[in-house]
Amino acid sequence: MATTFSFCSNVSHLNSLNHSLIRQPNPRRILYRFRCAGENPTTSSATDGDGGSRPENALLKIAWNASELLGIATSFFRSPRNPGASEVARELSRDGSGSVDRAVVVKTIKDDFERSYFVTGNLTLDAYEEDCEFADPASSFKGLRRFKRNCTNFGSLLEKSNMKLMKWEDFEDKGVGHWRFSCILSFPWKPILSASGYTEYFYDPQSGKVCRHVEHWNVPKMALLKQILRPSRRFWSKRTVD
């Protein structure tokens, strides 16, 4: 979520882009497969699977990277928040081999959901590898600190938010959390975002920590963009009163 929602912090800069640069992907659910020791997804898997052409996806990636950089720049002008509230700095218990117990990691992720870590950056860092890969339908990158920063930048734009873990599934090499999310962005037109999806948490076989964090949305990317640009009823009612 953070990898794509980072463009929200600079949507005013992106409004000047022609809508033809971003086309609606095939709404069919996209599945990404990763190995902890593998590389970033190849071009074919990142483009052929969503029905978009390579040029269109390349332009989308450029727009995303530009918005992330703008988000970093604008973050320097925001009032700093309580640093203790931005992350959970605790070390998870380990067994004799130094590996984190699977049940401990799962409980930690569920606790982080209670803190809406997707949009606050308030997550337990020790549950993830430092070079953990984070991916969603728009982009992927490695780096726990980068993910945390993107989440924090997005959270600073929210007036209200609600994120709920709906269901958890355990598999041999991963856990899957099904979630639902909604928020009101603090833009002048008060847009409302609403989405559901699931996240795959792949575990490193040596450390037991999460080494891949892969998001899947049940809402097309173009639909999310339209939600960001659409004024809420609250905005129109205020305009009527004024």
Q: What is the pLDDT of residues 139-155, one digit of tens each?
A: 899 999 999 988 888 88
Cα 93 to Cα 108, 112, 190, distances in angstroms: 11, 17, 43
Average pLDDT over the chain, rounded to whole? 74
The answer, yes or no, to whether residue 129 has pLDDT greater than 90, is: yes
Name the β-bridge partners of 128. 210
**Tokens of residue 74, six digits:** 């604008």
Q: Is the pTM of this model over 0.75?
A: no
Spatial distance between the Cα atoms of 124 and 4, rounded to a whole number of angstroms: 21
CB 98 within 8 A of CB 208: no
Tens digit of pLDDT for each residue in 34-76?
445 444 444 333 333 344 555 545 545 555 555 555 555 555 5
| Residue 217 scores a pLDDT above 80 | yes
Write the DSSP string, the chain. -HHHHGGGGGHHHHTTS-GGGS-PPP-SPP-----TTS-SPPHHHHHTTTT--HHHHHHHHHHHHHHHHHHHHHHTTSPPP-GGGS-B--PPPB-TTSPBPHHHHHHHHHHHHHTTHHHH---BGGGEEEEEEEE-SS-EEE-HHHHHHHHHHHHTTEEEEEEEEEEEEE-SSEEEEEEEEEEEE-STT--EEEEEEEEEEEEPTTT-SEEEEEEEESS-HHHHHHHHHSPPHHHHHHHHH-
At residue 7, the pLDDT reads 52
The whole-number pLDDT of residue 176 equals: 98
Phi-psi region of 142 (alpha: psi -120 to 50; beta: other; left: phi over 0): beta
Confidence class of residue 228 from pLDDT cuts 50, 70 and 90?
confident
pLDDT of 207 > 70? The answer is yes
Question: In the predicted model, what is the mean pLDDT of residues 188-196?
Answer: 91
* Interatomic CA distance for residues 76 and 162, integer angstroms: 26
pLDDT at 128 over 50: yes
Residue among 213, 216, 181, 214 nearest 198 (CA):
216
pLDDT of residue 70: 53
To the nearest whole percent, how much of the chain has pLDDT over 70? 60
* Residue ranges covered by each domain of the chain: 102-235
Per the CB < 8 A criterion, the answer to whether 197 and 218 are in contact is yes
Question: From 3.30.365.10, 3.10.450.50, 1.10.3720.10, 3.90.100.10, which CATH number describes the 102-235 domain?
Answer: 3.10.450.50
124 beta partners: 88
pLDDT tens digits for range 8-23: 555 444 444 444 333 4
Write down the pLDDT at residue 167.
98
The fraction of the chain above a pLDDT of 90, given in percent, is 36
> Residue 195 pLDDT > 50, yes or no?
yes
Token pair recorded at residue 163: 């994120």
State residue 175's pLDDT score. Answer: 98
